[in-house]
Structure 1
């Protein structure tokens, strides 16, 4: 899970607006931030570990000159958390390409072998373990191949038809990659390039605005980034589509491969902001729908008469908790005060840091909990670290009974498409019944959302989506290429490499007998 944004303007500097957009996407990554701007002649780059406000100071911003640019906030799932692996990544041939990426490429291993072997144009040397660097270099190789093919065709001029070469390379690139990827690039001589994997697993949204009689464009992970900079949502980038905003401001599109919208449903539960609209679904309305469905489940269990008030675990569960309260006719109370200067514990880099952060993140108010039977509502329960401590905190604040409600089903399987929860044994729900989970969390009762209800909420809001990726709940992966052997390889890798700030999840690919497309050999 990362946040990406790309911006094209006809005049002025893009840096300040990219900065504002990245602030709106900060919830998607707190490990590092990076920005590249382009003035039509040269690139200006800056990236480092830290939050957006820390990485981009006044002096740095003055140096980031150009009317076009891209920005990234990182939440690492592959490679390490070093500043070297902060994005954007760059290759100087062909043309000069900067790339930012949200998602996770699952066949990185085989692609890396091809790039570093004789099948690549340049026998490329990769500097990091990042799947994003692999993706960028495969794209660069495919542009070289498209150039070579064009040179052999009588009616094709590789210098005049450079835009076509990039689009053709995009078609080949998407036939090679597996997994999830929403990407934005700056390509010298071409412009701003954006593309999305054929399943549309991770979000990517196109926006536009009119300024001085000219149309300008922005592409971002979520359209919440558009508001502060005056852009209006146009549409989602289609799965399997590549967009180019040329250096003259023309918008060009190609459907590179057939696509079908199968978004990760966890985006709507936890990752995205409630003021975003992804795949024509309002995140806020989705979360409200979860509250309605969960309220019906609570009602069916005959628990309503034993609940004094509904309390959300801030902030993501508020829409669901408000709807549960209204639907069941129970008082809604804010009983947990959040320290807003502590980051999201789920995306902290290691378990020890998460546990410390929970204790300073929330404080329970006795004025709300004293002598009460409370229903605590959370958007999801993943590792259980936060929730078990919250339950203990609420009891110490005087609660007589603590009931838990999760707006999502039990998380039992890894999300390999860009959310860092790869080890099944880390989940509180791993190999446990709901009764066992309840005991471990220290609650008096635990009510989970049903998977059928979860999917039904999405279908109600966008009937055109025939299948969501629900892999972290069901173990069924929409790309159909994630095998038990692949999942085991991830866990094996984690046993041999500490998941700390200096070293995370290494880039693992399908080295287990799964058929993986290879880069075509040179002719």
Structure 2
């Protein structure tokens, strides 16, 4: 992705179903679960570099001894630091007890993070500050063991104020500015109620049903309960992803399926998707269930997971990204007047690479059909040389854009900084025939367009192509996200900027005023959540008109080549990703009412020149 955009968070959960001594005998180490937790987190490192954390729950601990432990570290190297800290603890203990590794029971007693249930979390800060106190897991402590709770997750909630109001709490800054603060307080509230009814065995299903029915947002959340129970739950729309595996030894849940496959050497068909509204619950005695906690709503699994966020090593995601590229081939052919002989195709590294392969496949399919047609029609008139030239003609592929080292734009006070920003990407010279070749580059999405305008298009123009065509495997991003992605400011989106400029060009700025008045009226009557009024901004224009305007806006004045922007269609997205139809950032069709409120607030912030999120 050319624009910097933060991913969602990642979750890893492990529950051992046998005593730790069992794994020591079978696998030769008592660190089996810790090693696997480390692998699960590293294999999802793409999901968070703002910080990480782990929590461990020990079962059957003698009264008076701590049974729940947590370690959190902020920063991009957090996973390594966390497990280095765990290892340092082992080394220190082995100085006192050299044969400690041979006694799993002792190790569990002495080592804080050796236990039967584990949570791992990778954080990207979409809300709250990037310091260690905002890293997951959070912990609610209580003198009553069954009321202790540790939680982590991948989510955004848009009704945290309402949750705190329901609980009649006045939380500190950390809790109020973190979605997890509202989530863990709500779950803990109902956990305490259930614990009063059944002190030894609170009904976790009932706790989750009462708590999560009040959440407005997309979430996968995991929790460890002091009585030995643990769980992972997914929202009723299935917005955020979760996969799990279970056998007689272990239960595993992670945000990405390949992380489980690779870490445990499993087949794809062994791993199940946690369905919307369901939870994996493991009781203290090891009983495993996957109950339907909330009635599933229309599935709105995040399509951005398929386009960009999740690793392309997942078999289904790889195929879907190939299709996203393939479906763009007809538009690209039209843009270059079907002249592949004088067209070079490339991609913006690195996440658009799979869609690039799909685009090449689509172009090659066209080329094959064209060759067959011309040879059949001209078999009596074509020379051997002409036939040979046709047969050997290929789509011209080059690696044009190269992501350079992260340059330090330390000169921030003047125009010199803009010149430095241009060099974030480098180009391969000698690949384009000057003033003869068109240049097609595919990106997985275009959010703000800043890097395209300030760096990529200027760099590509140095090769003197006749035309620069930037292709996005995602549709136009028009609306803010509020379910885990760092896209919250309406004015940042190049598609929104283009729509506003078109309204100005056509003397239709009254649409902006009327939309703002509708938002204000809805706010006064507490109905901001009932309708997405921002859709009116885009209604006068076709996607092609907006794309054309974006091309004009992203073309710097000193660029000689014509610039055209091509976006994926909504229909193409749904065809390529049939199981992940969550498309609110493209269409404005939010799966929860809180999304409408976020979109309307974001637009009001734009009109009022306010800096900040819409939630």
| 1:362 paired residue number | 425
| 1:469 paired residue number | 582
Please say if 1:452 is aligned against 2:560. Answer: no
1:146 shift after superposition: 2.3
Aligned residues: 462
| 1:318 paired residue number | 353
Q: Secondary structure at the match of 2:577?
A: helix
8 A contact 2:147–2:195 mirrored in 1:
no
Distance 2:603 2:287 in 1: 43
After superposition, give the CA deviation of every residue in 1:119-139 in whole Å (9 maximum; x if it has no partner): xxxx76573310111101100
| 1:242 paired residue number | 279
Higher RCO (C-alpha 8 Å, min separation 6):
1
Q: Which has the higher strand share?
A: 1
Distance 2:485 2:599 in 1: 16
Map residues 162-241 of structure 1 onto 2, 5 A cutoff.
Answer: 162=202, 165-208=203-246, 214-230=248-264, 232=266, 233-241=270-278
TM-score, normalised relative to structure 2:
0.69
Distance 1:483 1:56 in 2: 39
8 A contact 2:52–2:120 mirrored in 1:
yes
For structure 2, which runs of at least 5 residues remain unmatched after alignment? 1-7, 21-29, 62-66, 90-112, 365-394, 408-416, 499-545, 556-561
Q: Secondary structure at the match of 2:209?
A: helix
| 1:420 paired residue number | 486
| 1:56 paired residue number | 82
For structure 1, which runs of at least 5 residues remain unmatched after alignment? 118-122, 151-157, 344-353, 500-504, 509-523
Q: Secondary structure at the match of 1:314?
A: coil
Distance 1:262 1:456 in 2: 15
Distance 1:358 1:57 in 2: 36
Distance 2:608 2:262 in 1: 44
Q: Secondary structure at the match of 1:440?
A: helix
| 1:392 paired residue number | 458
Distance 2:10 2:43 in 1: 9
Distance 2:606 2:55 in 1: 33
Query: Structure 1 pair 206/360, CA: closer, same or farther in 2 (3 Å)?
Result: farther
Distance 1:409 1:175 in 2: 32
Please say if 1:3 is aligned against 2:116. Answer: no
Query: Structure 1 pair 324/485, CA: closer, same or farther in 2 (3 Å)?
Result: closer
Match of 1:374 among 439, 456, 461: 439
Query: Structure 1 pair 304/31, CA: closer, same or farther in 2 (3 Å)?
Result: farther
Match of 1:68 among 117, 137, 140: 117
1:498 shift after superposition: 6.9
Distance 2:421 2:485 in 1: 20
1:58 shift after superposition: 2.1
8 A contact 1:206–1:217 mirrored in 2:
yes
| 1:308 paired residue number | 343
Distance 2:353 2:263 in 1: 27
Match of 1:336 among 401, 407, 413: 401
Q: Which has the higher helix share?
A: 2
Q: Secondary structure at the match of 1:447?
A: strand
Pick the structure with greater CA Rg: 2
TM-score, normalised relative to structure 1:
0.81
1:15 shift after superposition: 2.5
Query: Structure 1 pair 418/485, CA: closer, same or farther in 2 (3 Å)?
Result: closer
8 A contact 2:443–2:471 mirrored in 1:
yes
8 A contact 2:157–2:218 mirrored in 1:
yes
| 2:35 paired residue number | 16
Distance 1:217 1:24 in 2: 18
8 A contact 1:355–1:385 mirrored in 2:
no
Query: Structure 1 pair 17/497, CA: closer, same or farther in 2 (3 Å)?
Result: farther
Map residues 253-272 of structure 1 onto 2, 5 A cutoff.
Answer: 253-260=290-297, 261-272=299-310
| 2:525 paired residue number | none
1:472 shift after superposition: 0.6
8 A contact 2:234–2:277 mirrored in 1:
yes
After superposition, give the CA deviation of every residue in 1:429-463 in whole Å (9 maximum; x if it has no partner): 1141212211222262111111111112222xx4x
